[in-house]
Amino acid sequence: MIFDTHTHYDDEAYDPDRQETLKRQFDENVGCIISCGASLRGSEAALKLAGEDERIFAAVGFHPDNIDEFDPGALVRMISHERCRAVGEIGLDYHWDVWPRERQQEGFKAQWRIAAAHDLPVVIHSRDAAEDTLRIVKEMYSEYKAAGRSFKADLHCYSYSPELAREYIKMDMYFGIGGVLTFKNARKTVETASFIPLDRILLETDCPYLAPEPHRGGRNESSYLKNVVSKLAQIRGISEAEIEKITYENACRFYSVEA
């Protein structure tokens, strides 16, 4: 079975056939799904989806592009929902630079500290912000250790260098691996996936985005992770069944979901 740890089934791309699409995933070897919020509306939609199916859980938070919406009270309210399992996706996006970088950083850390206070893991978005992301992760890691907290964070859609990945491994980070792994130009991702500890790999689609080969360019969905599983099994030299089992257990541990 496959555990898709990062989806956006609330996206308008699924408006014509959302329920049919979700049903198809569970009919095609998908056992569990995390619906991730990126805004207030998206987070509330994620909670709604999670409340409608016991195989769906939610992560809630404010993406850096939507950091102007960040409301600590709203975040605390949403994470109190019984179907919420993480805060995310949160982080930094210097590609679009919708909001000043200092504001993004402040919002990132503020949300992370709320997650820490409620003993929830975080799902990190980082685009074109390698240096500042690493700096903040190290800062938060030190805070967790000083407070005696258990550190649990996922680098969603990891796309930075293998060298940087080794720095994150020192902090026991999890890595989200998805459709990019199957792309012909994914040399860095393939190299990174070859040495990340197997117990720190999470499968994810980020659907409707980043569909793997041979679906690249189309609307993504959880069942397409079978193509990522196949590629990862090839890279690591183990069976697809082993990849599914290991990554499913990883996701259950990260999100505190019963296997």
**pLDDT tens, 109-147?**
999 999 999 999 999 999 999 999 999 999 999 999 999
pTM above 0.85, yes or no: yes
DSSP notation for 28-84: TTEEEEEEEPSSHHHHHHHHHHHHH-TTEEEEE---GGGGGG--HHHHHHHHTSTTE
Strands lying side by side in the sheet with 56-60: 2-7, 30-36, 56-60, 84-93, 122-127, 153-155, 174-177, 201-203
DSSP β-bridge partners for residue 32: 3
**pLDDT tens, 7-63?**
999 999 999 999 999 999 999 999 999 999 999 999 999 999 999 999 999 999 999
Domain boundaries, the chain: 2-255
CB 69 within 8 A of CB 39: yes
pLDDT at position 12, please?
Answer: 97
Report how far residue 224's alpha carbon sits from residue 207's, in angstroms, rounded to the nearest whole number: 10
> Cα torsion for 154, 198, 161, 135, to the nearest 10°?
40
pLDDT at position 16, please?
Answer: 98
Residues 6+ apart with CB under 8 A from 245: none
**pLDDT tens, 148-207?**
999 999 999 999 999 999 999 999 999 999 999 999 999 999 999 999 999 999 999 999
CB 107 within 8 A of CB 89: no
CATH architecture assignment, domain 2-255: Alpha-Beta Barrel (3.20)
